Structure 1
């Protein structure tokens, strides 16, 4: 025993000795060009507090990735054998050397009692004034104003002692200008609806799509009929759950949800009061009426779309809604910048610490990949891999600007060389999540485009993440079909998205007590989440594991359960964008689901 202790102490001392004066000198760890939508305004106020996360190198992530692909491959002997939390922690825990060296450095600047650690030890988090963080990272923070008037405190470069470069993956907030934006386009001028409760279109009971669907106002009955879930009766509610994520001020209002469900799905109206809400980093779960400022900003429109669509499709499957804010709390005004945490990292790290997580989670937020530093994107993506390995299906909307980014009319200019390019979106470019595009029309469905607001379903190819093996064959077939069209505008070898699609135009919602219509992959994504939640319900009720990470199954066998979409395109950047074709395509993936075929595809 004594010899073991002596050896451990010697190893620790050896690791610390490695940091020679030359190695301890600060060297640039990361530089990221400021997105053109931001303009430097001033030096950052030194007293402003920021909550900083230091991501340490995970010792065995490659092994975790191997496990993930094995348990997600329907032809592998381990299919469905999802990993436990303790198994994941053992795979991602940093080496003792990494932990000792990074802590020794931090404790020169931060009191040890104020540093919190993730369960696996791969994240160390603390709060400091900006002036202290500048010393910690040998950098200078500035206030940057976005073209919409909002502000952030960020830097375009930060440093670490040389001996720590191999042990630290990223430190944030630093160079990330990500603005998690909901992918929904809203019309507020619904004829006869403003100030009034809705008078819904009611098709005959048991009718087909022609009888129950109205393209000008899409309801849960329409979606359930279109995709074949209308007669399915959930049997595993409780054991099976569904989740949604809100970020930075978005809300889920129970009163609006109750009005919606009483109108469009009366048997599910209890769901308005039953869904759980959890606040992360001071995220708002308020049920108070919106303030005038919130009404002007449309706060709660995205939240209404998510919660009303998901309960409308998957009830009585229990719903959990997270609201992730900034930490520490900060109230922006005209003169003070917003000091916030990176929302995806804050959310996923919290969820990874929980004993139970809903088996399907819908995220309706994206940002242009080029606004996200590669280090940050990689860290968040690897955290998603951990969640997927636990048996969770993580869905993200593929974007509303076609090939042009998160917003119609985006600049379509690369941050790297200032040339015209298709702009991929993160997190859709992460290979460990499932990206959902949007369609419009019933017979047939086509890739979504709405001329009223220029909404076009997003699709593209990552500039950060290589194309995963599971999709290589399908993507190669697509590239052979479209040939050299647009070849100079995107990275053919990148992770391609979306993976599948669902209807995404003219969804009915209730917001602020009245009827609104919403377009977006923010609509198709919660709808798809609801459908997969029902499929998991069927699996659980038959004693089977849930689907977990969908993509390996989808590209190998699940694709047969989807209706191919072969018309339309991901319009953007003054081009027609990627076209829908037979087979997988970069605007609708494998197409839209059919529940009876999904049941057959999973062997039920």
Structure 2
């Protein structure tokens, strides 16, 4: 009996322990620490530090969401009445029981525990040895090479926490330090190796270089004996060939599919016409590689070349085959000046208001070089004003790494500060990687924003990073979405790139067409509380009639316009877009999206060929040029494409629109989407309607179907691209309606000479708004007095009078 009693007690102890350390099956809050397919190797260095971010449960998110909708909706009387940080976290902060539980759990362990300002995040920093013990897992080094901006550290198994801790937390995010080489170098392309013999036609290197109305080619010649030429132009091409027949010239045919033209160019084999350098054959032997640049080539057309040799005996070789060369698309390079002309951005007028501020969020080892930024301004003819003095760094920066590996960060900071000149800018660097998603530590960044006071918080944030939503735990996406909603309550604008791999995402680019047929949306661009920015490129066939051909009519459009940016048309990337499987369609875009789903211009694919959630949050919201940006990397300008280029462009526009409001002491624009869709509904001409293109391709592989552009909103370009000055004028009109009675009595801010810029005069765009606001405020006040007088004489009773007069109700009732 005693033994049985002891066994019963032991069983109870085991049961209690099992419940205490229960791990819910299929719970992605813990399982995502370890993902299948990882090749685990040696144990990680036990003394390295690592960070675990704890997301505590929050209260009253439904109340906050209701309020966020109100302050963001131009049609709501609470529009622009943003909450202060203290108000938000007084309503939504965690339960005290959960906070005490987390403190008690970590108290016996080494390391540091730091709570966020609102208490809904905690950052626990400790050694790997400590993390493994606390979270009951093991961290190992992943086998294989480690790319810069990543980490080899992986968790070999899910973490295990006591059941009460699981209930207190929404989830955990494990952030590891990045690997960065001590002396980063640019990745060099492998030299193309030419066949050593077996042909007479020249062989063109497969990759052509294309620019604004030109293509550049590299090729080798073959002599009469069918062996590759090894003689320089000065010695005579093929002079050492046994046949002693020289090559005197080359004929090049430039083929352009869209223009249906063939241009023939004859290039004499002389030093002033052809360049030359040492090439290599497939057996490693040296040969002479020639190069030439061909001008007056039409832009925006698929271009390839064929070439033949002319011999001194009057004979010619065959032309090389067109399919030996990959087609290229000549097009204009994108510069700040081109963007300024295309959208009407006054890039040479400085931003003056001291509160007007902007931030670029950078992850995964992306840094910038201040010297490159200064040189970029000089090259592009951009006046720097006080940009250098007003640019601040949050986190770490490695300038030399920026010049070599920081293409993303260099692009962001160079263009956002060039187009919003003199703005107070923050380079917000988060130098770690989230292990569950192997991507950006978004929650760490959002915790830092929570810890930033209202006075120091940048008003506009440009985020050029978005990832495959299906690779992220659901709790992770939901918490990020909630944090974006809280930023909307603070009047903050968040812009996120929609992605560069079209409808089916990066998995198609990496693993091929087997991942076609499903809309793999990107996140956080598919969050309902951010503004997702898609991509366009310039083209002449930018409306359906362009390129129309019949027996009687041939239509060509000489003016450049915008089409969806697609890799198969030379855009370098394909604009991401589609529908979220995680978040329902938000209220502000219902009408626009329903119209798209039912239109016939470019019908949406049937579910049997493309699976997507018709009722989900649809994105992008708008778009802008995203192709062929010139970015300064050290001493070299490099062309770059991506929605990570269009996003800082839109952010610069928002900063300039905010300038008009701030100069009149009006609240900033905040969360943009309700305003965007309202403007689109009332003033569709404020956006350039992108009607040509689709997003069926990734950067490297094309699926059969995707979402097509159409008149109105579409899932490839949103509502289109903004006309800066038109929207600025509309925003001034809307400000009269939204704020006339509440802000009209305020005078414009008097700017000091150092702030306003020498010789620039007063505020050109917004001075006239103050008298109108003041007049409307006066009219509103008189109308209110008349209503009071009328109510007093008609015997209306008390309890409803305050509400009838528009008295402000309490902001929220917190539980």
TM-score, normalised with respect to structure 1 = 0.80
CA distance in 2, matches of 1:595, 1:300: 29
Post-superposition CA distance 1:347-384 (Å, at most 9, x none): 22112211221211111111211222112222222222
Q: Which of 474, 481, 495 does residue 374 from structure 1 map onto?
A: 474
Shift of residue 190 of structure 1?
7.7
Does residue 145 of structure 2 align to residue 168 of structure 1? no
| SS of match in other structure, 1:76 | coil
Preserved CA contact (<8 Å) 1:504 1:520: yes
Specify the alignment match of 1:449 in structure 2. Answer: 566
Give the Cα–Cα distance (whole angstroms) in 1 for the partners of residues 488 and 619 of structure 2: 18
Structure 1 stretch displaced more, 233-242 or 523-532: 233-242
User: Which one is further off, 92-101 or 499-508?
Assistant: 92-101
Kept in 2: contact 1:144–1:154 (CA 8 A): no
Query: What residue in structure 2 maps to residue 578 of structure 1?
Result: 707
Separation in 2, partners of 1:41, 1:486: 42
Alignment of 1:307-326 (within 5 A): 307-326=413-432
Instruction: From the superposition, tell whether residues 53 and 413 of structure 1 become closer, same or farther in structure 2 (CA, over 3 Å).
Output: farther
| Alpha-carbon distance in structure 2 between the residues aligned to 1:266 and 1:507 | 16
1:153-164 matched pairs, under 5 angstroms: 153-154=154-155, 157-164=158-165
Say whether residues 1:49 and 2:147 are aligned partners.
no
Q: What per-residue deviation string (whole Å, max 9, x for no partner) do you get for residues 396-446 of structure 1?
A: 1111111132477143799xxx89523211111211111100101163311
- The question of whether the paired residues in 1 share the 8 Å contact of 2:390 and 2:422 is answered with no
Q: Which moved more, 1:450-459 or 1:237-246?
A: 450-459
Greater mean deviation of Cα atoms: 67-76 or 101-110:
101-110
Q: Partners of 2:612 and 2:110 in 1: how far apart?
A: 43
- Residue matched to 2:269: none
Distance 1:327 1:410, change over 3 A: closer
Matched residue, 2:524? 427
Out of 562, 573, 576, the residue aligned to residue 687 of structure 2 is: 562
Whether 2:371 is the aligned partner of 1:250: answer no
Equivalent in 209, 212, 217 of residue 333 of structure 2: 217
Deviations 1:204-245 (A, max 9, x none): xxxxxxxxxx94211111111111123784564322111111
Q: Indicate conservation of the 8 Å contact 1:25/1:161, yes or no.
A: yes
Q: Tell me if 1:596 matches 2:725.
A: yes
Q: Aligned residue for 2:384?
A: 268
Q: 2:118 aligns with which of 117, 120, 124?
A: 120
Does 2:463 correspond to 1:465?
Answer: no
- The more displaced of 466-475 and 356-365 is 466-475
Where does 1:96-175 land on structure 2 (aligned, <5 Å)? Answer: 96-110=96-110, 114-144=112-142, 151-154=152-155, 157-173=158-174
User: For residues 327 and 476 of structure 1, do their structure 2 counterparts lie closer, same or farther at Cα, with a shift above 3 Å needed?
Assistant: closer
Do 1:437 and 1:500's aligned partners in 2 also have CA atoms closer than 8 Å?
yes
What does 1:453-602 correspond to in 2, within 5 Å? 454-481=572-599, 482-486=603-607, 488-558=610-680, 560=684, 561-572=686-697, 574-602=703-731
| Match runs of 1:10-49 below 5 Å | 24-28=20-24, 29-30=27-28, 31-32=31-32, 38-41=38-41, 46-49=46-49
The answer to whether the 8 Å contact 1:500/1:591 transfers is yes
- What is the DSSP-based 3-state SS (H/G/I as helix, E as strand, rest coil) of the residue aligned with 1:495? strand
Report 1 or 2 for greater relative contact order, CA contacts < 8 Å, sequence distance ≥ 6: 1
Q: Distance in 2 between matches of 1:551 and 1:51?
A: 34
**Aligned match of 1:87:** 87
Report how many aligned residue pairs link the two structures: 535
For structure 2, list consecutive stretches of 5 or more residues without a partner in the other structure.
1-14, 179-188, 190-206, 217-329, 540-559, 734-815
CA apart distance, 1:565: 0.9
Distance 1:462 1:116 in 2: 34
| Secondary structure at the counterpart of residue 66 of structure 1 | helix
Counterpart-to-counterpart distance in 2, 1:406 and 1:473: 30
1:400 aligns with 2:500: yes
Q: Is contact 1:71–1:78 with CA below 8 Å preserved after alignment?
A: yes
SS at structure 1 position matched to 2:732:
coil
Q: How far is the alpha carbon of 1:165 from its aligned partner?
A: 3.2
Is contact 1:401-1:410 (8 Å) kept? no
CA contact (8 A) 1:412 1:423 kept: no
1:565/1:592 contact within 8 Å kept: yes
- Is the Cα contact below 8 Å between 2:175 and 2:441 reproduced in 1? no
Mapped contact 1:241–1:319 kept (Cα < 8 A):
yes
Q: What is the alpha-carbon distance in structure 2 between the residues aligned to residue 102 and residue 188 of structure 1?
A: 59
Residue by residue, what CA displacement relative to the aligned partner does 1:30-57 show, whole Å, maximum 9, x if unpaired?
3349667754445555544321111110
User: Is this contact kept in 2: 1:308–1:509, CA < 8 A?
Assistant: yes
**2:392 counterpart residue number:** 277
User: What's 1:347 paired with?
Assistant: 445
**Do the aligned residues in 1 keep the contact of 2:45 with 2:128 (CA within 8 Å)?**
yes
Say which SS state the counterpart of residue 405 (structure 2) adopts.
Answer: coil
Shift of 1:393: 0.7
RMSD: 3.5
SS, match of residue 511 in structure 2: coil
Q: What are the residue-to-residue correspondences of 1:193-232 with 2, within 5 Å? A: 215-230=331-346
Preserved CA contact (<8 Å) 1:446 1:566: yes
- Residue 170 of structure 2 aligns to a residue whose secondary structure is strand
Aligned 8 A contact 1:562 1:592 in 2: yes
For the residues of structure 1 that align with 2:583 and 2:671, how far apart are their CA atoms?
17
| Superposition deviation, residue 108 in structure 1 | 4.5
CA spacing shift, 1:338–1:41, aligned 2, 3 Å: farther
- Report the CA distance between 1:26 and its aligned residue: 2.4
Change (3 A) 1:413 1:494: farther
Q: Is the 8 A contact 1:235 1:541 kept in 2?
A: no
What secondary structure does 1:575 align onto?
A: coil
Deviation at 1:270, TM superposition (A): 4.9
Q: Which has the larger radius of gyration?
A: 2
Q: Are the aligned partners of 1:402 and 1:458 in contact in 2 as well (CA < 8 Å)?
A: yes
